[in-house]
Structure 1
Amino acid sequence: MRSVEVVCDQKSELGEGPVWDVARGLICWVDILNGHIHEWDAEGNSLNTIKVDQMIGAIAVCVDGNYVAALKNGFGIIDCKSGNVQMIADPEEHLPENRFNDGKCDPSGRFWAGTMPLSEDKASGSLYVFNKDRSVIKMEDNITISNGLAWSKAEKAFYYIDTPTLKVVRYDYAAENGTITNKRTVIHIPKEAGFPDGMTIDREGMLWIAHWGGWQVTRWNPITGEQLTSFKLPASNITSCTFGGSAFKDLYITSARKGLSEEELKQQPLAGSLFVIRNCGYTGVPANEFKN
C-alpha cells in the first residue's frame, strides 16, 4: 500500500480543484467556501494564499501565467501576483441561489465550469464554456451538483459527473468547436462507495474519481466501466485529485471538513487537508491551459 502524506498544515473547509502549475512548479487548489486559492511550493516548502472575497468553484492556469476562475459571481481572470480579480461574465446573475463548482480547460484551451444550487437539492445547475473571446455558452442544464470533468484526446471524449446521479457520462467531443454529443453512461458508482466528486485522467486514458463520503479515490476504465484500483484516505469527504510533480507521478488529493460533526472531526483530524501519494504507480498528463 502506497503511503498517503499530508502536503502542508493548511486545512480547507471545502478543498477542491487541484491543478499543477507546470511553469511555476506549484500545486494549486481552492477552498470554495472561504474564497481562497492556495499555492504550495514543494521545493521552497511555502504556502501562498490568494483571497478573492467571494466563493470560488474552480481555477485553471492561463497561458500567460494568471488564473481563469469560476467564482460565485461568474467567470473572471485573477492576477496571480497581485490577486486582483477582473470579473468578466455572469451567466447566472438571475440565479443568486446558485454557485459555480468544478471546472477545467479542454484540450483546445476553453474553460468549462458548472453550477449547482447552494441548497444541493434541485436540478438548477448548468454547465458552461467560457471562450477566449470572453463569450459564454451553456452546454447542459438540469444539473444538481456539477462536478468532475475530463477529456480524452485519443477517444475524442468528454467525461462528466453530476454527483447525485452516481454516474460518469461520456460525450463525443469535437475539439475544433467544443461541441458535445451522444451522451451515454459509462461508469456506475455503487452508493456505498461514496458519491463521485472531482475527476482526472491519466496517460493511459483511465479515470480517477474522488468519492465524497467514501474515504477514497478510485481508478476506472471508461471503456469497460470496470473499477481498477482504489487508494484509501484518512478523511471521508474526498473532493478531487490531479497528477503533479516534474514527471506527473504524484497524485494530489483534496478533501473537505464541510458537513462533518464535531465528533466526526475528532475522528478525522486530517479532514480538509491536501494529500499526496508520491510515485503513485501511475502517470498523469499536464492540465490544459486557458488560451486567453
Structure 2
Amino acid sequence: MEIELNVRQLLPSDSKLGEGVLWDAQREVVWFVDIKRHFLWHYDPETGSNAHAEAPGQIGWAIPADGDLLLCGLKDGLYTFDPETEHFEKLMAVPGEPAGNRLNDACTDPWGRVWFGSMDDSEGSASGRFYVFDRGEIRAAGPSGIAITNGPAVNAQGDRIYFTDTTAQKIMVADLSPAGVGEARPFADTGALFSDAYPDGPVVDAEDHVWTGLYLGGRVARFTPDGELAATIAIPARDITKMAFGGKDLRTGFVTSATKDMKPADMESYPQAGSLFGFAAPVAGFAQTRAKLG
C-alpha cells in the first residue's frame, strides 16, 4: 500500500552517499554522514541551521555516546567525535578486517552496545560481516560473508535485531538478549517485491514494524513483525539509503539519499537527489540508547 505524504526536502546536502541518519534527542538535531565526501552533518529541524565536519576518512555512521561525544565508524575503525571541538580521535581498529573494507551502518541496543557492519569498499567481494562493540571490546557477532551489509536495527524491547544483506536483497532477523545474539533467519525477501531495488538501512518503529530505504527504488518500505510488506512511501530521489524517526515527538521521518551511481540524465529526473528529506510519519519511533564507551 503506497501512502501519499508530503515529503519535503529539508537540506540540499548534495550527498554522494548520504547515510547513517539518526535523531539526537539530547541536542535535538539530526546527524547523518556523506560517506564518500567524509562529511558528518548535523541539521536542526527547528531552525534549519546545519553544518558539516570533515572526518579523516570515509565515515559510515555517528551515534551519540557517553560524555557528550559521538562514536563513529570510519574506514579504518572506531573513532570518537567531539561536537564542540570537531575533533576526531581514533579509539580502535576492527580486528581482522581486510584493508579493502570499510564500516557502513550501525545502531545501539537498549544496553548501550553498538552493532555495526563492514563491507568491501568496492562492493564486489563478500568480505563484510557484523560486529558488536560492547564497552570497549569488539566481537564478531551476526552474519558474515556479505558484500554490502546494512543495519543492524534493534527493536524497542531489545529482543530482535535485523541484519540486511543488500546485494542479496534480503533482510534477516535474530533473537537478541543481554547475553548476545542468536542465529539469523530470513525475515523479508525484498527482491521478490522490488526486483530492481535493494534494501538499504533499516530502522524499527514503536509498533515493532521494520522500515528500510530502497536503493534504486525511490521509496521507503514498511514491514510487519512477520516480514509482510505493509506500506511504501515515495521519496523524490532514486537511491534511498536510510530512515530515522526524530523530532520531539519522534513522529518525523528523516531520510537520506545518494547520487554516486547517478548519471546526468538521472539527476535531471531527480534534481533533489542527495538531499535530506522529511515527512510527518504515520507512526512514532522510539528513543535510541546512547552508546556506552566503557
Report TM bin, short chain.
Answer: over 0.9
Alignment pair present for 1:169 and 2:169: no
Unaligned runs of 5+ in 2: none
TM-score normalised by structure 2 residue count: 0.94
Identity across matched positions, percent: 29
Alignment pair present for 1:146 and 2:111: no
Q: Secondary structure at the match of 1:64?
A: helix
TM-score normalised by structure 1 residue count: 0.94
Q: 1:122 aligns with which of 113, 121, 125?
A: 125
Equivalence for 2:286: 285
Matches within 5 A, 1:1-292: 1-91=4-94, 95-132=98-135, 134-139=136-141, 140-154=143-157, 156-174=159-177, 176-177=178-179, 179-189=180-190, 190=192, 191-192=194-195, 194-223=197-226, 225-278=227-280, 280-292=281-293
Shift, 1:153, TM fit: 4.5
- Partners of 2:271 and 2:128 lie apart in 1 by 32
Taking a change above 3 Å as real, the CA distance of residues 94 and 20 of structure 1, as seen in their structure-2 partners, is closer
- Partners of 2:112 and 2:212 lie apart in 1 by 23
The one-letter code sitting in structure 1 at the alignment partner of 2:132 is: V
Q: Secondary structure at the match of 2:23?
A: strand
Shift, 1:155, TM fit: 7.0
* Counterpart contact for 1:97–1:117, Cα < 8 Å: yes
Shift, 1:272, TM fit: 0.4
Runs of 4+ in 1 over 3 A off after TM superposition: none
- RMSD of the alignment, in Å? 1.5
Q: Secondary structure at the match of 2:266?
A: helix
- Partners of 1:208 and 1:35 lie apart in 2 by 26
Q: Secondary structure at the match of 1:54?
A: coil
- Partners of 1:286 and 1:192 lie apart in 2 by 33
The one-letter code sitting in structure 1 at the alignment partner of 2:277 is: F
Q: Secondary structure at the match of 1:281?
A: coil
Unaligned runs of 5+ in 1: none
The one-letter code sitting in structure 2 at the alignment partner of 1:183 is: A
The one-letter code sitting in structure 1 at the alignment partner of 2:23 is: W
Shift, 1:109, TM fit: 0.4
Q: How many residues align?
A: 287
Q: Secondary structure at the match of 2:230?
A: strand
* Counterpart contact for 2:64–2:70, Cα < 8 Å: yes
- Partners of 2:286 and 2:132 lie apart in 1 by 22
